[in-house]
Structure 1
Amino acid sequence: MENKKKAIAACSGMSPYGLVTRAVASDMVSESDNLISLCMGATSADREGFRDLIKKYPIVALNGCEGSCVNKILKQKGVEAAETLNVLEILNEEDLKPTDVSRLDDEGEKSVDAVKKRLKKVLRD
């Protein structure tokens, strides 16, 4: 991974896939000094400080599903994601199906690992 910081913008949706995106973002940021996470609620609400933050670093959008809300919110704020991952697609490819919107079970943890693996590849490229 480059030394330049990047931001991860995770889905904030109330689905198991949204939970997986947030867990991935949290894990990845805690494992690297070169990553920050963006709060999509604060970004959407145009909270002071976030207007500048979303333009400061290249953003990797982690969408929970095909709705691509993360990309849509960023676009509304005049920002394009540098990279986009659709967690639902990734997990379908891996035959993983998280089931809880608020707690990670074994399937949820496996899902987080699968998405982190894909995200690490994107960050290296």
Structure 2
Amino acid sequence: MLSPVVSLPREQRRLLRLYSRLDDQRRASLEAFAEFLLQQQEQTGPALEAESAVPRKPEDIPRPQEESVVAAMRRLTKTFPMIDRDALLDRATSLMTAHMLQGQPADQVIDELEVLFQEHYEIYLQKNET
């Protein structure tokens, strides 16, 4: 009998092999990024804008004193559910990479992520002004 992993497509087996070689912190980052991509895929951008003529306000989710970059991505995604994640993808990815692979301090990356999300919220407001 074949194991379930062997029956997976080649690209999924490769992803599992890569995942298994990562340390716990990088696994958590990969999982958060996968969640971000899934939310982006499931987002119905134009449908969200059509829901209401009044632009949505960000959720009031305060930044904790101690926060990981992964947790910050989750918080900011929940804080700004109305913004187009496609537009964030490249910059958010490079910021997370700078932290994970280049050792940029988490606080600095989170500050930059907050600015990025705020800038895209302002773009959202401009597009939805009446």
Task: State the structure with more CA Rg.
Answer: 2
Point out the structure with the larger strand share. 1
Point out the structure with the larger helix share. 2
Higher relative contact order (CA 8 A, sep 6+): 1
